[in-house]
Structure 1
Amino acid sequence: MTTTATPSTTPKPFAPHPGRGRFNSLFFAGMGGYINWHMRKQKSTAFAGLPANVVEIGAGVGANLRYLPAGARLTAIEPNPYMHARLTRAARRRKVDLEIRGVVAEGIDLPDASSDAVISSLVLCTVDDPAAVLAEIRRILRPGGRFSFAEHVVARPRTPTRWSQRLLRRPWAWVFEGCSCERDLAGLIRSAGFAGVELRPYRIHSPFVPFNTHIAGTAIA
């Protein structure tokens, strides 16, 4: 018997900001191709062989629809309402059967062990509690299900990238709705209780220096 989660603490609801919400929807619609070009090799590996039914954490405007198999069904956990219209249009173009759930990822309204695959990219940096999100991902994955990810992470100490992350953390977080460039997401994923984790650190080279250190991989529930 499967049950829907009842979090031990009520997750903080997402508070849409009309200005930043619209800006981020427009930004990722306009810059999605550029960002994907830098991440395409790692995403292609991490998202290879996805099943027909996928849950995506923070689907945004649909950057990862291109990696889903033909005829896929996507359940999008996307609390930002300013993303929904563009995401819906992108899914229609890609012929993806889309269901949007406007909840935060710390309290996913899906039953236990109900999902074969969960994906995320550039999302765990923005959530209030990434450890709680990873616990929710484990909860909704069936045994042996996969969580595939491509995320940007904190840089090594005493490097120019790390200095820029520290210097720009507050304006960066304000513009990009809470995004932190200073999270050790590799450590969080490895310690989240998955049966197995494979991840690869890599670096991109872009003018957005705080954004340039990344990981990609797959964790098995």
Structure 2
Amino acid sequence: MTDNNLTAAPATGFEVHRGRGPFNAAFFSVLGPYLEVHLRRHKRRVFADLPPTVVELGSGVGANLRYLRPGSTLVAIEPNLPMHRRLRAAAERRGVRLDLRDRTAERTGVPDRSVDSVISSLVLCTVADPAGVLAEVRRILRPGGTFRFVEHVAARSGTPTRHLQRALRRPWAWTFEGCSCERDLAGVLRAAGFARVDLEPYRLHTPFVPFNTQIAGVAHA
């Protein structure tokens, strides 16, 4: 059976839902400043001193452009077409050159060992294959390069937050285009083959309780 609300993004096979795609673009545009208040301390730490060219997985509407210096180049991997207009406008406002690629994080199209830094925030929760994405990150990073991340993860087993994550997993994933609030991304990162992974677990205090258990850090190629 075919869902007539789905359209395929060119050259990727990523299915953009006619309702959820625009909803998420609008949601993160409106709620972005609120989320940034809670995430800013962690982003400032892991996104400090980014190089002149950065690859970002799931750039969305441009929440992380503020961490790039004006004149930098962002290679933005973003298959959700409804995000593109806002992302282009945000890059122009920030003075960042935008190389926008309608591709998935598993197949960026970036050459082997060609970049110094890859970043992501709140993206590994949504991808179909987190281990595959991290293998792609390792492929495109130069030796000594860094993958810098801010992600939300599963709470400890048996806690009230974990029970709530489990109870809401289906409506949460449907609303936020496959986002899982039950992934052990710290474990996936440590098993991905990086030379070193430095990460910090922490907890936010927001009404979005399934989202509140998080990690931030740097993986070194």
Cα distance between partner residues in 2 of 1:211 and 1:78: 21
Please state if 1:90 is matched with 2:90.
yes
| Equivalent residue letter for 2:112 | D
Q: Which residue of 1 aligns with 2:55?
A: 55
Q: Which residue pairs with 2:162 in the alignment?
A: 162
Amino acid at match of 2:152: H
Matched residue pairs, number? 211
**Deviations 1:60-92, CA, capped at 9 Å, x for gaps:** 000000111231100000000010000000000
Q: Which residue identity lines up with residue 105 of structure 2 in the other structure?
A: A
Distance in 1 of aligned mates of 2:114 and 2:13: 23
Aligned to 1:8: none
Summarize the alignment of residues 111-150 of structure 1 with structure 2, pairs less than 5 Å apart: 111-150=111-150
Q: Output the CA distance in 1 between the equivalents of 2:166 and 2:13.
A: 27
Task: Identify the residue that residue 178 of structure 2 maps to in structure 1.
Answer: 178
1: distance between equivalents of 2:70 and 2:63?
16
How far, CA to CA, are the matches of 1:203 and 1:171 in structure 2?
22
Q: Secondary structure at the match of 2:59?
A: coil
Does the alignment pair 1:43 with 2:48?
no
Instruction: Evaluate the alpha carbon distance shift between residue 17 and residue 101 of structure 1 in structure 2; reply closer, same or farther with a 3 A threshold.
Output: same
Q: Secondary structure at the match of 1:106?
A: coil
Residues 103 and 12 of structure 1, relative CA distance in 2, 3 Å threshold: closer
Question: Which one-letter code corresponds to 1:130 in the other structure?
Answer: P
Preserved contact between residue 12 and residue 79 of structure 2 (Cα < 8 Å): no
Partner of 2:68: 68
**Displacement of 1:47 after TM fit?**
0.3
| Superimposed CA distance per residue, residues 186-220 of structure 1 (whole angstroms, 9 cap, x where no aligned partner) | 00001100011100000000000000000000001
User: Structure 2: which amino acid aligns with 1:192?
Assistant: A
What is the CA distance between 1:108 and its match in structure 2? Answer: 1.2
State the percentage of identical aligned residues: 64
Q: Who is 2:30 aligned against?
A: 30
Match of 2:208 in 1: 208
Structure 1 residues 21, 201: CA separation in 2 closer, same or farther (over 3 Å shift)?
same
Using the TM superposition, give the Cα deviation of residue 107 of structure 1 relative to its aligned residue in structure 2, in angstroms: 1.0
Deviation at 1:141, TM superposition (A): 0.3
Distance 1:31 1:182 in 2: 22
Aligned-pair CA distance for 1:13: 2.3
Structure 1 consecutive aligned stretches of length 4 or more whose deviation exceeds 2 Å: none
Instruction: List alignment gaps of at least 5 residues for structure 1.
Output: 1-10
- Offset of residue 149 of structure 1: 0.2
Q: Which residue identity is paired with 1:43?
A: K
Contact 2:153-2:181 at 8 Å conserved across structures: yes
Give yes or no for contact 2:12–2:102 (8 Å, CA) kept in 1. Answer: no
Distance in 1 of aligned mates of 2:124 and 2:111: 21
Q: Which residue of 2 aligns with 1:151?
A: 151
Q: Which amino acid counterpart does residue 192 of structure 2 have in structure 1?
A: A
Shift of 1:44: 0.4
Question: Cα RMSD between the aligned structures?
Answer: 1.0
Compute the displacement of 1:12 (Å). Answer: 7.4
Give the whole-Å Cα distance in 2 for the aligned partners of 1:172 and 1:56: 24
| Structure 2 residue aligned with 1:103 | 103
Deviations 1:138-189 (A, max 9, x none): 0000000000000000000111110110000000000000000000000000
Give the distance between the partners of 1:63 and 1:219, measured in 2 at CA.
Answer: 21
Looking at structure 1, the residues matched to 107 and 186 of structure 2 have their Cα atoms a distance apart, in angstroms, of 22
Deviations 1:88-141 (A, max 9, x none): 000000000001111111111010001110000000000000000000000000
